[in-house]
Structure 1
Amino acid sequence: MVLPKSAIGKAISYTLKLWGKLIAYASDGSYEIDNNRIENTIRPLAIGRKNYLFAGLHKAAQKAAMV
Structure 2
Amino acid sequence: MNKKGEIFTYTIINVASEEFQDKVPYMVAVVKQGENKIFTRIDNYEEGKEVKIGMEVEFSRIDENGSKLYKFI
Q: Same fold (TM over 0.5)?
A: no
Q: With CA pairs under 8 Å and 6+ residues apart, which has the higher RCO, 1 or 2?
A: 2
TM-score range, shorter chain: under 0.3
Q: Which has the higher strand share?
A: 2
Bigger Cα Rg: 1
Q: Normalization by structure 2: what TM-score? A: 0.16
| Larger helix proportion of the pair | 1
